[in-house]
Amino acid sequence: MARQPIFRARVLSRRDVLGLASVAGLCIGGARAASSGRRLLGGDPALLSPLEREHLPLLRIPAKTRNAHKVPIVVEMSHPMTADHHVTKVEVVNDREPVPSMGTFRFTPANGVVYVGFQARMDDGDSEVTVTAECNRHGAWAIRRRITIAEDPEGCSATAPPRARTAGNDIHPPEIRIPELVERGRIRRGEVIHPQLKIRHPNRTGTSEPLHLKDLEVWFAGQRVSRFELTPALSDDPFISFALLASREGLLEVRLANNRGQRFEAAHEIGFS
Protein backbone atom coordinates (compact mmCIF):
# COMPACT_ATOMS: atom_id res chain seq x y z
CA MET A 1 0.00 0.00 0.00
CA ALA A 2 1.29 3.44 -0.94
CA ARG A 3 2.31 5.64 1.97
CA GLN A 4 -0.15 8.43 2.60
CA PRO A 5 1.24 11.95 2.20
CA ILE A 6 2.22 14.02 5.23
CA PHE A 7 1.25 17.69 5.24
CA ARG A 8 3.72 19.87 7.15
CA ALA A 9 3.09 23.38 8.39
CA ARG A 10 4.97 26.57 9.07
CA VAL A 11 5.05 28.07 12.54
CA LEU A 12 2.06 30.34 13.16
CA SER A 13 3.06 33.91 13.93
CA ARG A 14 -0.22 35.80 13.48
CA ARG A 15 -1.97 37.28 16.52
CA ASP A 16 -5.48 37.11 15.08
CA VAL A 17 -5.88 33.35 15.52
CA LEU A 18 -9.20 31.86 16.56
CA GLY A 19 -9.74 31.46 20.32
CA LEU A 20 -11.93 29.37 22.54
CA ALA A 21 -14.64 31.19 24.46
CA SER A 22 -13.79 31.30 28.14
CA VAL A 23 -17.24 30.64 29.55
CA ALA A 24 -17.12 29.13 33.04
CA GLY A 25 -19.16 26.00 33.76
CA LEU A 26 -20.08 24.74 37.20
CA CYS A 27 -21.02 21.19 38.08
CA ILE A 28 -24.47 20.19 39.31
CA GLY A 29 -25.76 17.67 41.80
CA GLY A 30 -24.06 16.27 44.90
CA ALA A 31 -21.01 14.10 45.35
CA ARG A 32 -22.02 10.45 45.06
CA ALA A 33 -20.80 7.13 43.73
CA ALA A 34 -21.80 6.49 40.11
CA SER A 35 -22.81 3.07 38.85
CA SER A 36 -19.67 2.88 36.71
CA GLY A 37 -17.45 3.06 39.81
CA ARG A 38 -16.55 6.72 39.31
CA ARG A 39 -17.30 9.52 41.74
CA LEU A 40 -19.70 12.13 40.38
CA LEU A 41 -18.74 15.46 41.96
CA GLY A 42 -21.02 18.45 42.27
CA GLY A 43 -22.36 21.28 44.38
CA ASP A 44 -20.20 23.90 46.07
CA PRO A 45 -16.48 23.00 45.67
CA ALA A 46 -15.86 24.55 49.12
CA LEU A 47 -17.92 21.73 50.65
CA LEU A 48 -15.86 18.98 49.01
CA SER A 49 -13.10 17.15 50.83
CA PRO A 50 -9.46 17.94 49.95
CA LEU A 51 -9.27 14.68 47.99
CA GLU A 52 -12.44 15.52 46.04
CA ARG A 53 -11.28 19.05 45.27
CA GLU A 54 -7.99 17.69 43.97
CA HIS A 55 -9.86 15.39 41.57
CA LEU A 56 -12.54 17.89 40.52
CA PRO A 57 -12.45 18.52 36.74
CA LEU A 58 -13.35 22.07 35.76
CA LEU A 59 -15.59 22.02 32.70
CA ARG A 60 -15.93 25.32 30.86
CA ILE A 61 -18.80 25.27 28.39
CA PRO A 62 -21.50 27.82 27.53
CA ALA A 63 -24.82 27.23 29.28
CA LYS A 64 -26.60 28.25 26.08
CA THR A 65 -25.54 28.92 22.49
CA ARG A 66 -27.04 29.18 19.02
CA ASN A 67 -23.96 27.95 17.20
CA ALA A 68 -24.27 24.15 17.28
CA HIS A 69 -21.40 23.84 14.81
CA LYS A 70 -18.62 25.16 17.06
CA VAL A 71 -19.33 24.68 20.75
CA PRO A 72 -16.19 25.59 22.77
CA ILE A 73 -15.27 23.07 25.47
CA VAL A 74 -12.39 23.42 27.92
CA VAL A 75 -11.42 20.88 30.60
CA GLU A 76 -8.73 21.59 33.17
CA MET A 77 -7.68 20.33 36.60
CA SER A 78 -5.36 21.35 39.42
CA HIS A 79 -4.39 17.71 39.98
CA PRO A 80 -0.68 16.88 40.46
CA MET A 81 1.12 15.53 37.39
CA THR A 82 4.03 13.62 38.90
CA ALA A 83 5.32 10.18 38.02
CA ASP A 84 3.63 8.53 41.01
CA HIS A 85 0.41 10.58 41.04
CA HIS A 86 -1.15 11.90 37.84
CA VAL A 87 -4.25 11.92 35.66
CA THR A 88 -3.93 9.34 32.92
CA LYS A 89 -6.94 10.27 30.81
CA VAL A 90 -9.99 12.49 30.48
CA GLU A 91 -13.13 11.44 28.61
CA VAL A 92 -15.77 13.89 27.38
CA VAL A 93 -19.20 12.46 26.57
CA ASN A 94 -22.43 14.02 25.30
CA ASP A 95 -25.54 12.13 26.43
CA ARG A 96 -27.23 12.60 23.04
CA GLU A 97 -26.74 10.68 19.83
CA PRO A 98 -25.53 10.30 17.14
CA VAL A 99 -21.93 10.77 18.38
CA PRO A 100 -21.98 10.65 22.19
CA SER A 101 -18.20 10.41 22.63
CA MET A 102 -16.52 13.77 22.11
CA GLY A 103 -12.99 12.49 22.66
CA THR A 104 -10.63 10.61 24.97
CA PHE A 105 -7.54 12.59 26.00
CA ARG A 106 -4.58 10.65 27.42
CA PHE A 107 -1.94 12.53 29.43
CA THR A 108 1.49 11.92 30.97
CA PRO A 109 3.34 13.83 33.71
CA ALA A 110 5.22 15.65 30.94
CA ASN A 111 2.04 17.67 30.27
CA GLY A 112 2.58 19.47 33.57
CA VAL A 113 -1.14 20.11 34.09
CA VAL A 114 -4.39 18.63 32.79
CA TYR A 115 -5.76 21.00 30.17
CA VAL A 116 -7.50 20.51 26.84
CA GLY A 117 -9.70 22.79 24.76
CA PHE A 118 -11.54 22.00 21.54
CA GLN A 119 -14.62 22.83 19.49
CA ALA A 120 -17.45 20.31 19.09
CA ARG A 121 -20.52 19.85 16.95
CA MET A 122 -23.74 19.23 18.87
CA ASP A 123 -27.44 18.78 18.13
CA ASP A 124 -30.08 21.39 18.87
CA GLY A 125 -31.85 21.06 22.20
CA ASP A 126 -30.72 20.22 25.73
CA SER A 127 -27.73 17.98 26.39
CA GLU A 128 -25.62 16.94 29.34
CA VAL A 129 -21.86 16.82 28.88
CA THR A 130 -19.98 14.56 31.29
CA VAL A 131 -16.25 14.75 31.92
CA THR A 132 -14.56 11.77 33.59
CA ALA A 133 -10.96 12.05 34.78
CA GLU A 134 -9.00 8.95 35.75
CA CYS A 135 -6.24 9.17 38.36
CA ASN A 136 -3.60 6.44 38.49
CA ARG A 137 -3.98 6.24 42.29
CA HIS A 138 -7.55 7.24 43.10
CA GLY A 139 -9.67 5.99 40.21
CA ALA A 140 -12.26 7.86 38.14
CA TRP A 141 -13.98 11.16 39.03
CA ALA A 142 -16.68 12.90 37.00
CA ILE A 143 -18.49 16.20 36.57
CA ARG A 144 -21.66 16.89 34.57
CA ARG A 145 -22.86 20.11 32.94
CA ARG A 146 -26.07 20.91 31.04
CA ILE A 147 -26.01 22.92 27.81
CA THR A 148 -28.85 24.23 25.64
CA ILE A 149 -28.34 24.56 21.89
CA ALA A 150 -31.03 26.97 20.69
CA GLU A 151 -32.37 26.59 17.17
CA ASP A 152 -30.33 28.64 14.72
CA PRO A 153 -32.40 31.59 13.44
CA GLU A 154 -31.04 30.92 9.96
CA GLY A 155 -32.53 27.45 10.07
CA CYS A 156 -29.23 25.53 10.01
CA SER A 157 -29.08 22.10 11.58
CA ALA A 158 -26.12 20.56 13.39
CA THR A 159 -25.52 18.21 10.46
CA ALA A 160 -25.11 21.01 7.92
CA PRO A 161 -21.76 22.69 7.22
CA PRO A 162 -21.14 25.69 9.50
CA ARG A 163 -21.52 29.11 7.96
CA ALA A 164 -17.73 29.63 8.08
CA ARG A 165 -17.04 26.67 5.80
CA THR A 166 -18.17 25.67 2.34
CA ALA A 167 -19.39 22.16 1.62
CA GLY A 168 -16.01 21.18 0.19
CA ASN A 169 -13.53 18.73 1.68
CA ASP A 170 -10.42 20.90 1.27
CA ILE A 171 -7.69 20.36 3.88
CA HIS A 172 -4.96 22.76 5.00
CA PRO A 173 -1.98 21.66 7.13
CA PRO A 174 -2.02 22.36 10.87
CA GLU A 175 -0.38 25.41 12.41
CA ILE A 176 0.94 25.83 15.95
CA ARG A 177 0.67 29.03 17.98
CA ILE A 178 2.08 29.42 21.50
CA PRO A 179 0.31 32.31 23.28
CA GLU A 180 3.03 32.75 25.90
CA LEU A 181 5.63 33.22 23.18
CA VAL A 182 3.44 35.63 21.21
CA GLU A 183 2.57 37.73 24.26
CA ARG A 184 6.01 37.89 25.93
CA GLY A 185 8.41 36.96 23.15
CA ARG A 186 10.01 34.20 25.23
CA ILE A 187 9.37 31.02 27.17
CA ARG A 188 10.73 30.45 30.66
CA ARG A 189 12.23 27.15 31.73
CA GLY A 190 9.79 25.19 33.89
CA GLU A 191 6.63 27.10 32.95
CA VAL A 192 3.49 25.45 31.58
CA ILE A 193 2.67 26.66 28.08
CA HIS A 194 -0.60 26.24 26.18
CA PRO A 195 0.07 25.51 22.49
CA GLN A 196 -2.88 26.07 20.17
CA LEU A 197 -3.41 23.97 17.06
CA LYS A 198 -5.37 25.26 14.10
CA ILE A 199 -6.21 23.01 11.16
CA ARG A 200 -8.63 23.19 8.24
CA HIS A 201 -10.21 19.77 8.05
CA PRO A 202 -13.87 18.71 7.70
CA ASN A 203 -15.46 16.36 10.21
CA ARG A 204 -18.37 14.73 8.40
CA THR A 205 -20.55 11.73 9.17
CA GLY A 206 -23.86 10.50 7.84
CA THR A 207 -22.54 10.36 4.27
CA SER A 208 -21.36 7.53 2.06
CA GLU A 209 -17.76 8.68 2.57
CA PRO A 210 -17.24 9.92 6.16
CA LEU A 211 -14.21 12.14 6.73
CA HIS A 212 -13.01 13.16 10.17
CA LEU A 213 -9.91 13.56 12.33
CA LYS A 214 -9.22 10.45 14.38
CA ASP A 215 -5.97 10.77 16.29
CA LEU A 216 -3.66 13.50 17.63
CA GLU A 217 -0.26 12.83 19.19
CA VAL A 218 1.86 15.45 20.98
CA TRP A 219 5.64 14.83 21.01
CA PHE A 220 8.25 16.93 22.77
CA ALA A 221 12.03 16.44 22.57
CA GLY A 222 11.55 12.98 21.07
CA GLN A 223 9.06 11.80 23.72
CA ARG A 224 5.33 11.29 23.27
CA VAL A 225 3.66 13.54 25.82
CA SER A 226 -0.03 12.90 25.15
CA ARG A 227 -2.45 11.28 22.75
CA PHE A 228 -5.97 12.43 21.91
CA GLU A 229 -8.50 10.00 20.42
CA LEU A 230 -10.84 12.21 18.41
CA THR A 231 -14.35 11.52 17.10
CA PRO A 232 -16.69 12.90 14.41
CA ALA A 233 -18.24 15.07 17.15
CA LEU A 234 -15.31 17.45 16.61
CA SER A 235 -16.31 20.54 14.66
CA ASP A 236 -15.19 21.30 11.14
CA ASP A 237 -11.84 23.11 11.10
CA PRO A 238 -11.37 22.60 14.85
CA PHE A 239 -9.24 24.74 17.13
CA ILE A 240 -7.48 22.54 19.71
CA SER A 241 -5.40 23.60 22.72
CA PHE A 242 -3.38 21.59 25.24
CA ALA A 243 -0.77 22.11 27.96
CA LEU A 244 2.93 21.29 28.03
CA LEU A 245 5.57 21.64 30.74
CA ALA A 246 8.56 23.40 29.19
CA SER A 247 11.07 21.49 31.31
CA ARG A 248 13.79 21.57 28.66
CA GLU A 249 14.46 22.83 25.16
CA GLY A 250 13.44 20.73 22.20
CA LEU A 251 11.11 20.27 19.24
CA LEU A 252 7.37 20.28 19.86
CA GLU A 253 5.58 18.13 17.27
CA VAL A 254 1.90 17.44 16.64
CA ARG A 255 0.95 14.45 14.50
CA LEU A 256 -2.62 14.03 13.31
CA ALA A 257 -4.36 11.30 11.33
CA ASN A 258 -7.87 11.03 9.91
CA ASN A 259 -10.11 8.02 9.32
CA ARG A 260 -8.77 7.65 5.76
CA GLY A 261 -5.18 7.20 6.90
CA GLN A 262 -3.98 10.65 5.85
CA ARG A 263 -1.44 12.16 8.22
CA PHE A 264 -0.66 15.79 9.03
CA GLU A 265 2.22 17.26 11.02
CA ALA A 266 3.39 20.57 12.44
CA ALA A 267 6.40 21.46 14.59
CA HIS A 268 7.63 24.35 16.72
CA GLU A 269 11.05 24.65 18.36
CA ILE A 270 10.89 25.34 22.11
CA GLY A 271 13.84 27.36 23.36
CA PHE A 272 14.52 29.56 26.37
CA SER A 273 15.82 33.11 26.36
Which domains, and CATH codes, for the chain? 20-157+171-270 (2.60.40.10)
pLDDT digits (tens, 9 = 90+) for 91-113: 999 987 666 899 999 999 999 99
Q: Residue 203 pLDDT more than 70? A: yes
> Band of the pLDDT at 270, cuts 50, 70, 90?
very high
pLDDT digits (tens, 9 = 90+) for 140-165: 999 999 999 987 555 444 444 445 45
Q: What is the pTM for the complete model shown? A: 0.83
pLDDT of 100: 85
CA-based end-to-end distance of the chain: 45
